[in-house]
Structure 1
Amino acid sequence: MKDPTAARHSPPPGSEEELRGLLASLPEKAAVRGMLFNAVLEVMRQSDGETAVQQCLAVTGEKTFLDYFSYPPGKYLELLYAAARLHSGGREGFERALRYLGQQSATNFLVSAAGRTLLVLVQGDPYRLLNRLPWAILVGVSGVEVSVRPTGPWSGILTVKRDFSPRPYVEGGFLATFEAARVKGAKVRSWQAGPHVNEYELSWE
């Protein structure tokens, strides 16, 4: 059962306290492919300029990321927080900035070889796409466990165990993926189902 006081004690979105809490609870053996880092950096380059890209890189301590090389998830979280903070200009728009970064990063991923393969495999079928999302996630992220269950003719729930990615960011990515697959009326909402377990409800028309 969820702790009813948990939300009361949650640190503000985008705060250093929130980031440090996430960094302290990362799952063992988790890793993130460089392609996801590069997708975020390209969004920042297009929307905020090269100076913002260099500021984000400085936070990670890296000068560049190789697409198919694996990096610690802590660096990924630090990059996401730095990018969202820069793009939002403050805490009020932090979650909105994360959602935007997720949408645009997914768009960048979908033009890669893996992304194009995903779109070809699903052929615009929302259920097929829903069932392929775990594969798409695991292409870029390891150390998480993903499962899918249909909840009706036009909806399903994706459960991610040991999830460390900010939910607004993931929501944005799912929306962009459904839109790229030309699924009409796609919607997503999410919640924390347990310690390090997030669920994403996806629906369509």
Structure 2
Amino acid sequence: MPSNKAELAARLAAVRSGDSVRGLFFKSVLGLIQQHAGLAAPEAVRDGALGAAYSDLLTYPARDFLTLLYRAADALESALGPEDTVFHACGEKDVARFSTGPGMLIFGIISRGDPQKLFAGAQMGYSAAVSYGSRDYVPTSPTSGTLHMRRDMLPPAYHEGILTGALKVLGRSGTARATRRGIDSADYDIQWR
């Protein structure tokens, strides 16, 4: 089943002029498409509309990244499953790539392997990746917390993938479950072991 284009349109409507995403996330999603759908798939998904090449540290329009995520859901459905599964996989892949590049400071020095410290620095981490939105983390126990995201139009399943992927980077396992508050806001309950 094709991805939800009505939801994509609503998310695109929430994007403001100047909202941008680092190129490494585009490259990571295109790499996931290539891995599961073949060498020619990234070009077919890009379809000339999303630019020819991306630089890891440069930023590109958030509208283009949203469009890429939904095209990835269409391209990867047969390999990975429904769109939320694809979005989750994209989020995990993106955070793994981020943690070895611009996010090394956050994952290595600031968090020192502690999920509480990592999620407490979520606003700083996301600010290194995107130009929009706010994130506020509230611990709820020694092994859980809630991350409140506002004005972030990416699908909740994508962020669930980022958050569980971040736990994997720290050598932990856990879950992140979104409670939607609107098209561009959600609360994420995170638990780990």
Specify if TM > 0.5: yes
Q: Does 1:154 align with 2:149?
A: no
Q: Calculate percent identity across the aligned residue pairs.
A: 25
Indicate conservation of the 8 Å contact 1:34/1:66, yes or no: yes
Please, which of 117, 128, 149 is the counterpart of residue 128 of structure 1? 117
Please, which of 165, 179, 194 is the counterpart of residue 168 of structure 2? 179
Aligned to 2:64: 75
Compute the RMSD of aligned alpha carbons. Answer: 2.2
Q: Structure 1 counterpart of 2:187, which letter?
A: E
Q: Could you say what secondary structure the match of 1:142 adopts?
A: coil
Instruction: List runs of 5+ in structure 2 lacking aligned partners.
Output: none
Q: Does 1:32 align with 2:17?
A: no
Aligned to 2:4: 15
The structural deviation recorded for 1:28 is: 4.4
Query: Could you list the runs of 4 or more consecutive aligned residues of structure 1 that deviate by over 3 angstroms after TM superposition?
Result: none
Query: How many residue pairs are counted as aligned between the two chains?
Result: 192
The structural deviation recorded for 1:29 is: 3.3
Question: TM-score by structure 2 length?
Answer: 0.90
**CA distance in 2: counterparts of 1:196 and 1:93, whole angstroms:** 21
Q: Does 1:64 align with 2:53?
A: yes
Question: TM-score by structure 1 length?
Answer: 0.85
**CA distance in 2: counterparts of 1:128 and 1:49, whole angstroms:** 38
Q: Render the CA deviation track for 1:78-117: whole Å, top value 9, x for unaligned.
A: 0011111110139x611111111211222222222x2322
Q: Does 1:190 align with 2:190?
A: no
Please, which of 89, 95, 98 is the counterpart of residue 106 of structure 1? 95
Indicate conservation of the 8 Å contact 1:88/1:97, yes or no: yes
Q: Structure 2 counterpart of 1:105, which letter?
A: D
Aligned to 1:139: 128
Instruction: List runs of 5+ in structure 1 lacking aligned partners.
Output: 1-11
Larger C-alpha radius of gyration, 1 or 2?
1
